[in-house]
Chains A and B, each alone.
Chain A
Amino acid sequence: MAGALEGIGAEDKSRQVSEVANKLEAAEASRAGFEGTLAKAHFVMLSVMHGNMGPAVPGSGVIVPHTSVDADGAPTVGLDAIPPQLRQDAKPSGEELMGIDPKLGFLDKEHENANTDQGMSKFRRGARNVARNAQDYSDAVKELTKPATTEMTEAFQPPETYPVVGTAEPAATFTALPQTHFDGQNAVGNLVVVAVLVTEVIARRMKDWRAKT
């Protein structure tokens, strides 16, 4: 048609008509495309419904809960029956039972509402295991103690302005040494004990003597 119009000298009309024809072709192509998509979607739908594809196909590898429905239409078995938070009893951790806020991090836990003494014992509790380990590796590090000690002096180069930590107060708590046997070398301590005994004896004798006179 465009060619015929051009033949009779109507070039402008020819151009316009060919533009319309191009647009018509494009629209037809889109329609065909949509139709294909629709057919595909239809196929997919039917396949899923008939179990030819999707997670319900045996061997698809997907675990699908077996669901059965009771008289009221509610699922009776399977994962859908009862939501997990209702299916299982609450399992509080030891910390939750003790009323420790579960939001606290591992470092905050003992620090929270802990007094300093408890914090101290924490270091000592942990140190016990590190010390056990240290005893095991004694042979391995035997040659390292002296070089490390030298490093403590020579490699330690703190900045000139250095923050100090803590105050100059005497330490509050000391671990008492277990004293289970008589310490012959503790002269002062033993003398005190002897002096107390002597005083006691003298006091008694004085009392007796006074009673007699």
Chain B
Amino acid sequence: MTLNPLFRETMRAAALGKSDEANRLYDQIPEPEISHYNMFIVAFFAVCLEVRFKDDQSFTAIKQFATEMQYDYRNAEPPVKQLVIEGIIRAMMGEEDLIQEISPADQHRTQLLAIRKIVAQSPEMQIDLAPFLADAEGLAAQWAQAE
């Protein structure tokens, strides 16, 4: 199963901070494929977390990331909550129960905002985002196929 190439391009624009282009491309994604796009977001989020926490997956590292992210989005409304960030990352590391305590809206938004931050701070992703997007696409395609 292959995913719509629009997913990659939409995410590329979003991750690099070109929101107008990202939203324009997002509008072109057919309605029935939106749920797959949301899975693709999670897959890319996982790839981003791998990059970010490659060398240090300690609780301290997660907490520091959350603190930083709260500062980066300090003017966001509603505010970005540190515990939500920590909760999502820990859920992605296997504490699945935590995800039930975070609202869908918070999950969705926090993942997208975190993606932007991680990509902005990663030199390897800045140089070439394509392999990471392809990686996420492969992962999401596996999930979609397993359904």
Contacts and interface: CB of A to CB of B under 8 A. Distances in A.
Whether chain B is bound by chain A comes out as: yes
Interface of A: 105-108, 110-111, 116, 119-120, 122-135, 137-138, 140-142, 144-146, 148-159, 162-171, 173-178
Contacts of A178: 1, 141-142, 145
A103 B138 CA distance: 37
Given A107-B59, A174-B135, A153 B76 contact: no
Interface in B14-60: 14-15, 17-19, 22-23, 26, 34-39, 41-43, 45-46, 49-55, 57-59
Contacts of A164: 121-123
Contacts of B41: 134
Contacts of B23: 146, 149-150
Nearest to B22: A149
B45 A127 contact: yes
A176 B41 CA distance: 18
22 contacts: A107-B90, A120-B50, A120-B54, A125-B94, A126-B95, A126-B96, A127-B43, A127-B92, A127-B139, A129-B99, A130-B91, A131-B42, A141-B108, A148-B109, A151-B109, A151-B113, A153-B19, A165-B52, A166-B123, A167-B123, A176-B138, A177-B2
A140 B1 CA distance: 26
Interface string B121-138: 111101110011011011
Contacts of A142: 34
A130 B122 contact: no
Given A119-B57, A123-B46, A167-B124, A151 B76 contact: yes
A156 to B, nearest CB: 5
B11 to A, nearest CB: 10
B81 interface: no
B131 A171 contact: yes
B46 A124 contact: yes
A-B pairs with the 6 shortest C-beta distances?
A175-B138, A137-B104, A127-B46, A153-B19, A138-B35, A155-B76
B76 A126 contact: no
A111 B93 CA distance: 11
B140 interface: yes
Given A156-B73, A165-B121, A170-B128, A175 B142 contact: yes
A145 B26 contact: yes
B104 A152 contact: no
A123 B48 CA distance: 10
Given A153-B19, A157-B74, A127 B124 contact: no
B99 A156 contact: no
Nearest to A152: B116
